[in-house]
Structure 1
């Protein structure tokens, strides 16, 4: 499937069984079966920007009845703690499949006949995510003409206008004579660093097409490396309950001057997301939408029940089609930690559209020197 052009390769059969809690299954997948992730994400079966989902029928939250199914999110470098675009795609897929071998608790899904929607509770590595999927009038299958939405885990801001010093040998030309820039940090299932396109030195061109991809890739790679290598910034990637999410996953370049405003929204902005090992998200990035809404709330820019439109380069190129909408739903005071957060955490609803593109069967021949673990051409 794809969400605003960003792929989600959903593994429906053939993956080995995992056991234990969701995080224990994640550790087992890394230790024993990571070659399968590489086969499906990397070349020749995939590419540097491929994304995937491994379904987990049994987790501690499916056993307790809180979740219908669990998931591991995969990419070319490894695994994600949260993924909004894949959650939107999985919402449609899970209500459309009736294969109980793939989705054993499929028949427990509840429907709202008034709104023509179905509710799916998805256990992600960051926690429980509640997905609302629009259905056709007869409730027979998902309705692609209406957006899927989900309520993310409590999201919060951790740093505002934080100065980052760039070593002389690492400075990119667009910085000109500056030796530092300012960024902000927030969390929406994964930690995101926000930096404006102007701070990076690309204010004249912004994120209007055509975008200087090579130069932006270089600048963001350097900036993310500086942040990850200096322990002074680690405090901005701290979660009060989950240590396993405590790292910088996403660097989001933001252009608040670009993007069409959707109906019912207060405004719009565009982001260019670099995640994992410089993968570029084609979608507006759901986890970062949750994080950006929480950051806007902490700064007094958004209030409860207000919405904002978030675009990617792809949605802008399609006249706004494929945008995500983030809505500030409510505070989550039970998670509030004043030593970590700039304001009370919030729950955010994110909505977007996902579509099917195909059904594949992958094989590996024993004589194939590239089939076992794959490769990336730009990393040879």
Structure 2
């Protein structure tokens, strides 16, 4: 068989969420910053995302990350995150997968017991600390870009539910955060479909009713993900949540950017402060540990510096080929798994 391309991918998941990493076969997009490169990738090379995430080669449950040379000379590598329906400035589970793959494949030298390096991401420079033993990453801790609360107790109109309170916070993308218990959920696996359906309803309503824009990245706007959060149990205690990734499924991990966003809201409400931790448990029981490292004030806006700790595991190595006679060279999407919002930015 002759293939018009060959893409090498290392399979990986972080606490259950798939974040595969492209290590060969795709060149870096152009751009003076990593955000510029992300924009170029979305505009000019989206066929790569479609090929690897859409069926028959991928699935709605997959993210794919492209390793590229860093723009910032302090960083060992850069990365562009491709999710099922959008490109995002930052993702916690994907960052943990990227760091694990870089170290366990030898792309970045591993020093035991601790390896430290920086990653150049569209949302900013991310500082990584890897706990290593026996040639394996036991855990990844990263210092995230600043997170902040944008809306507290917003009144959101949702068809069939009336008015519900909504918090909106940025943790790497904008999250709409709602009270899971108040909506009748316990965030359990058997609620996954109902959570996904309602989560997409809330996301679309929030995008229509709340105009939120990142102060530094005007292309980062609108609610991307809805987080169903159980009541905060206090610093150092386990709190369940699930984040509904468009076009409608629960993130299998506790979501690192979602944990960052939740901590920003809790700090804004006076429930968390510097040094406090939020142990987030996902719908499948996996955990991330979030910590507030610092709080900064810029005029009327307050930001936190979040730290996230989690684990990832490599699942395999794959080479993806495209036969010139294949009628689905860029893949396809069906509403039985992709819902009704399969395209970008809806």
Q: Under TM normalisation by the shorter chain, which class is it?
A: 0.7 to 0.9
- Cα distance change on mapping 1:369 and 1:79 into 2, 3 Å: same
Alignment of 1:15-94 (within 5 A): 15-21=26-32, 22-59=34-71, 61=72, 65-94=73-102
Does the 8 A contact of 1:256 with 1:268 survive in 2? no
Alignment of 1:1-380 (within 5 A): 1-21=12-32, 22-59=34-71, 61=72, 65-99=73-107, 106=108, 116-136=113-133, 141-144=135-138, 147-166=139-158, 170-171=159-160, 175=161, 179-199=162-182, 201-203=183-185, 206-211=186-191, 213-230=192-209, 233-234=210-211, 237-256=212-231, 265-315=235-285, 322-333=286-297, 336-338=298-300, 341=301, 344-370=302-328, 372-378=329-335
- Cα distance change on mapping 1:14 and 1:209 into 2, 3 Å: closer
Which consecutive residues of structure 1, in runs of 5 or more, have no partner in the other structure? 100-105, 316-321
**4+ residue runs over 4 A deviation:** none
Post-superposition Cα deviations, 1:6-36, rounded to whole Å, max 9, x if no partner, equal: 1111001011342222223223222322111
Instruction: State the shift of 1:257 in Å.
Output: 7.6
- CA distance in structure 1 between the aligned counterparts of 2:28 and 2:232, rounded to whole angstroms: 48
Does the 8 A contact of 1:49 with 1:75 survive in 2? no
- CA distance in structure 2 between the aligned counterparts of 1:257 and 1:152, rounded to whole angstroms: 21
Secondary structure class of the residue paired with 1:313: coil
Secondary structure class of the residue paired with 2:321: coil
Does the 8 A contact of 2:147 with 2:261 survive in 1? yes
- CA distance in structure 2 between the aligned counterparts of 1:17 and 1:56, rounded to whole angstroms: 5
Does the 8 A contact of 1:91 with 1:120 survive in 2? no
- CA distance in structure 1 between the aligned counterparts of 2:299 and 2:222, rounded to whole angstroms: 18
- CA distance in structure 1 between the aligned counterparts of 2:39 and 2:168, rounded to whole angstroms: 27
State the structure with more CA Rg.
1
Does the 8 A contact of 2:277 with 2:289 survive in 1? yes
Post-superposition Cα deviations, 1:324-379, rounded to whole Å, max 9, x if no partner, equal: 0001111234xx240xx3xx211111001100110001111111111x11112325
TM-score of the superposition, structure 1-length normalised? 0.80
- Cα distance change on mapping 1:298 and 1:17 into 2, 3 Å: closer
Post-superposition Cα deviations, 1:299-345, rounded to whole Å, max 9, x if no partner, equal: 11112111121011112xxxxxx300001111234xx240xx3xx21
Does the 8 A contact of 1:91 with 1:132 survive in 2? no
If each structure's helix is expressed as a fraction of its own residues, which one has the higher value?
A: 1
Does the 8 A contact of 1:154 with 1:188 survive in 2? yes
Which consecutive residues of structure 2, in runs of 5 or more, have no partner in the other structure? 1-11, 340-346
- CA distance in structure 2 between the aligned counterparts of 1:368 and 1:160, rounded to whole angstroms: 49
Does the 8 A contact of 2:144 with 2:307 survive in 1? yes
Report the equivalent of 2:9.
Answer: none
Does the 8 A contact of 1:3 with 1:283 survive in 2? yes
Instruction: State the shift of 1:247 in Å.
Output: 2.2
Q: For the aligned residues, what is the CA RMSD? A: 2.1
